[in-house]
């Protein structure tokens, strides 16, 4: 076979593997964003949208002091959440990588398990923690430190920042942890042998190799936090309201699509400008001796220089981060067994009454079955589309590989609020009835990039020589995949499907816009929370947490099983 015909065959193979997922993303993500942009330039006439070009909505969004104040508050809260998330995630990833190398897989899984637990459950857990009858006030009253509840803990910007930091901390740990894996221990030992102090070792060796992970984590947390509208609604109060809430109102209560679209793109523009300016601003911050000492203190607790109490610092810090991630969830589970009708501490006894009440609720059962169907459809379709795309990215090198991967992961960098309203504009324009299928399509846009990432990682661990041997025996591309590749990576594919199912079961923000009258479990919880937290709401939250934890554990186990099997096959060759 000539080199030209082989290249042509490879191009057709790559196109065939990427086209199915490309079509889905084009129709369900990029076309809706384009239509949303068009809406922002159209005119609102009463409750109708007139297709006439105008900048009126942008003028309103950029001159109205109410919108500008909300936009500024959103950017400040997003930056604060990103800063605190990075500040917590970096030492955690650092300790997991260099202090506890044998346990780093378990520590990473702990962070990911928190990421795959229910978003809504974690948000309303902080209502229980920060509220007037919450854990903090109950503890302070029990210790005799206060006589009346502290009211300033909840319904303000502070509550929004701490809640969103808990929600997005795992998303920041992942890119920083991945960047840490490129730092070799012998590089650190060489710097120490050359007389470098801990801070110098960090600043000249570790940080340059991990700064891209820090930047990615910061921007990811900043964008998602600044574009959130659920958390401000539940724990923010009037002083914690953000621009995302107003965008949701524009598309919902006001039915003013042009204004909502203009606000959405002003927010995206603010994201782009802030993400571009922040690195330059951070680089100009002076580093006085006090800052240098603050950095070097935790570094002295690492394996760079062994000092007394170093292990205590590392253990205490990692334990504190894990507790910060999981204590809110544990509180929800505990209160779901409380006999009291008031979901607060101290508990008065243990009961399963609230679980029985939940399962006897027909609305809950319908939402549960709908969520299961959406999760199953999302898992199967995402596994097929993700496997094809992962084969293209893991087995072929082509010029457009980088840009196409960027387009694939674009939905993850886009706030779910904007993705949801963009999809809604298409469905409204085409007269599509919102149903289980529109929900599934929204979940696919969000979940499939994770599936591609997981399967591509599994394929990268597979020895290409096994596939070459299959081709040498006369098997075609499909035969090699069916007889060689698929049996080896099938557990990874199933694990990735479990991840997609877990993400589908938990997805709320996009679902809230594309569901219509169809109710899923997160929408059921949202409806309950709008009237206040009740014990049976805690029971629903505990059930969702248990289901998502089981799916995450299954995905983790299958992935580890495949990695072990592949490594053993490689050793036996």
Q: What is the CATH number of the domain that holds 492?
A: 1.10.3720.10
CA pair distance 205, 43, nearest whole angstrom = 55
Whether residues 328 and 439 share a domain: the answer is no
Phi and psi for 227 in degrees, rounded to 5? -95, 5
pLDDT at 364 (0 to 100): 93
Angle at 467 between CA 466 and CA 473, to 5 degrees: 95
Q: Name the burial class of residue 152, with classes exposed (0-12), middle (13-18) and buried (19+) by CB atoms within 10 angstroms of its CB.
A: exposed
pLDDT in tens, 249-296: 999 888 999 999 999 999 999 988 887 776 666 666 555 555 454 445
Same domain? 12 vs 151: no
**Does residue 395 sit in the same domain as residue 282?**
no
Q: Per 3-state DSSP, what percentage of the chain is helix, strand, and coil (rounded to 5)?
A: 80, 0, 20
Domain-ending residue, one of 335, 366, 393: 335
- How confident is the model at residue 305, as a pLDDT? 42
**Encoded tokens for 335:** 């209160």
Last residue of a domain, one of 335, 366, 395: 335
Paired tokens of 332: 């929800």
Residue 524's domain comprises 1-34+353-573
Please tell me whether residues 76 and 6 are part of one structural domain.
no
Closest by CA to 416, choosing from 199, 179, 167, is: 167
Q: Is 286 exposed, middle or buried (0-12, 13-18, 19+ CB in 10 A)?
A: exposed
Rounded to the nearest angstrom, the gap between the alpha carbon of residue 395 and the centroid of all alpha carbons in its chain is 27
Residues 223 and 71: beta-carbon distance below 8 Å: no
At 40, list the tokens: 């922002």
Contact (CB, 8 A) for 229 and 252:
no
Same domain, 314 and 446: no
One domain, residues 324 and 370: no
Is the residue at 44 inside a domain? no
Q: What is the predicted pLDDT for the residue at 286?
A: 55
Handedness of CA 256, 259, 264, 267 (dihedral sign): negative
Residue with tokens 């998602």: 224
For the chain, which ranges sit under pLDDT 50? 1, 291, 293-295, 298-299, 301-309
Confidence (pLDDT) at 86: 93
Whether 15 and 66 map to the same domain: the answer is: no
Three-state SS at 43: strand
Q: Considering only CA atoms, give the Rg of the chain.
A: 25
Which 3 state secondary structure label does DSSP give 66? helix
Do residues 95 and 303 touch, judged by C-beta distance below 8 A? no
Query: Same structural domain for residues 360 and 327?
Result: no
**For residue 233, what is the enclosing H or E element?**
none
Report the alpha-carbon distance of residue 349 to residue 340 in Å, rounded: 7
My answer on whether 428 and 316 are in the same domain is no
- Would you say residue 42 lies in a domain? no
Backbone angles phi, psi at 256, to 5 degrees: -105, 85
Q: How far apart are CA 495 and CA 250, in angstroms?
A: 39
- Taking the CB of residue 373, how many other CB atoms lie within 10 A of it? 15
The answer to whether residue 344 sits within a structural domain is no
Q: Is residue 39 part of a domain?
A: no
Domain boundary among 281, 301, 335: 335
CB 557, CB 494: distance < 8 Å: no
| Rounded CA separation 306/320 (Å) | 22
For position 567, what pLDDT does the model report?
54
pLDDT of residue 479: 67
Does residue 346 fall inside a structural domain? no
Quick one: pLDDT at residue 309?
Answer: 40
Residues 367 and 235 in one domain: no
- Largest Cα separation within the chain, whole Å, is 85
Place of tokens 């995630």: 89
Residue 125 in domain: yes
- Is residue 50 assigned to a domain? no
pLDDT number for residue 307: 37
The answer to whether position 45 is within a domain reads no
Tokens of 340: 């009291």
The C-alpha angle 197, 200, 202, rounded to 5 degrees, equals 110
Q: What whole-number distance in Å separates Cα of residue 523 and Cα of residue 45?
A: 31
Alpha helices per DSSP H over 116-256: 119-130, 135-142, 157-180, 185-193, 198-201, 207-226, 230-231, 243-251
Q: Is residue 18 a contact partner of residue 398, using CB atoms and an 8 Å limit?
A: no
Residues 331 and 361 occupy one common structural domain = no
CA atoms of 110 and 255, how far apart (whole Å): 42
Q: In this structure, are 11 and 63 located in the same domain?
A: no
Question: Taking CA 397 as the corner, what is the angle to CA 394 and CA 401, rounded to the nearest 5 degrees?
Answer: 85
Q: How far apart are CA 344 and CA 464, in angstroms?
A: 57
Torsion of CA 91, 97, 103, 109, to 10 degrees: 70
What is the count of structural domains for the chain? 2
By C-alpha distance, which of 32, 519, 45, 34 is closest to 255?
45
Distance separating alpha carbons of residues 155 and 236, to the nearest angstrom:
4
Angle at the Cα of 179 (from 178 to 182), degrees rounded to 5?
100
């Amino acid at each position: 076979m000539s080199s030209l015909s082989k290249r042509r065959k490879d191009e057709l193979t790559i196109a065939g593997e990427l086209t199915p997922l490309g079509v889905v993303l084009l129709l369900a993500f990029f076309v809706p964003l384009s239509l949303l942009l068009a809406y922002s330039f159209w005119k609102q006439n009463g409750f109708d949208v007139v297709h006439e070009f105008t900048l009126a909505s942008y003028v309103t969004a950029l001159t109205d002091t109410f919108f500008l104040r909300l936009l500024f508050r959103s950017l400040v809260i997003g930056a604060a959440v990103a800063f605190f998330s990075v500040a917590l995630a970096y030492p955690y990833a650092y300790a997991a990588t260099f202090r506890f190398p044998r346990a780093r897989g378990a520590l990473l899984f702990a962070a990911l398990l928190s990421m795959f637990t229910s978003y809504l459950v974690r948000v309303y857990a902080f209502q229980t923690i920060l509220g007037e009858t919450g854990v903090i006030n109950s503890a302070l009253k029990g210790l005799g430190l206060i006589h009346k509840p502290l009211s300033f803990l909840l319904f303000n910007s502070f509550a929004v920042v701490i809640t969103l930091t808990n929600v997005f901390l795992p998303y920041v740990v992942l890119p920083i942890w991945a960047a840490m894996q490129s730092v070799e221990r012998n590089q650190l030992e060489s710097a120490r042998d050359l007389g470098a102090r801990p801070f110098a070792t960090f600043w000249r060796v570790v940080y340059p190799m991990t700064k891209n992970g820090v930047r990615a984590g910061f921007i990811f947390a900043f964008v998602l936090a600044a574009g959130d509208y659920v958390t401000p609604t539940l724990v923010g109060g009037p002083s914690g309201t953000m621009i995302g809430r107003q965008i949701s109102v524009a598309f919902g209560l006001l039915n003013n699509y042009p204004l909502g679209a203009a606000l959405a793109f002003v927010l995206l523009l603010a994201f782009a400008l802030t993400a571009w300016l922040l690195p330059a601003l951070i680089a100009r911050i002076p580093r006085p001796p006090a800052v240098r000492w603050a950095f070097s203190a935790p570094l002295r607790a690492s394996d760079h220089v062994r000092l007394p109490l170093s292990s205590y610092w590392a253990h205490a810090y990692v334990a504190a981060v894990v507790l910060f991630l999981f204590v809110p969830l544990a509180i929800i589970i505990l209160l779901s067994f409380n006999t009291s009708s008031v979901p607060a501490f101290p508990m008065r006894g243990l009961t399963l009454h609230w679980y029985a009440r939940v399962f006897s609720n027909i609305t809950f059962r319908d939402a549960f079955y709908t969520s299961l169907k959406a999760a199953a459809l999302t898992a199967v379709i995402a596994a097929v589309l993700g496997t094809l795309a992962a084969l293209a990215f893991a087995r072929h090198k082509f010029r457009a590989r980088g840009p196409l991967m960027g387009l694939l992961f674009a939905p993850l960098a886009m706030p779910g609020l904007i993705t949801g309203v963009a999809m809604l504009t298409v469905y409204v324009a085409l007269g599509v009835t919102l149903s289980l299928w529109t929900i599934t399509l929204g979940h696919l846009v969000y979940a499939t990039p994770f599936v591609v990432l997981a399967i591509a990682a599994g394929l990268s661990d597979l020895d290409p020589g096994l596939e070459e041997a299959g081709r040498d025996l006369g098997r075609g591309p499909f035969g090699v995949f069916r007889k060689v590749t698929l049996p080896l990576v099938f557990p990874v594919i199933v694990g990735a499907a479990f991840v997609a199912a877990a993400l589908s079961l938990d997805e709320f923000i996009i679902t809230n816009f594309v569901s219509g009258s169809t109710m899923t479990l997160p929408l059921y919880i949202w409806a309950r929370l709008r009237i206040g937290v009740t014990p049976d709401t805690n029971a629903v939250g505990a059930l969702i947490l248990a289901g998502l934890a089981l799916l995450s554990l299954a995905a983790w186990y299958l992935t580890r099983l495949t990695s072990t099997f592949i490594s053993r096959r490689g050793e036996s060759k």
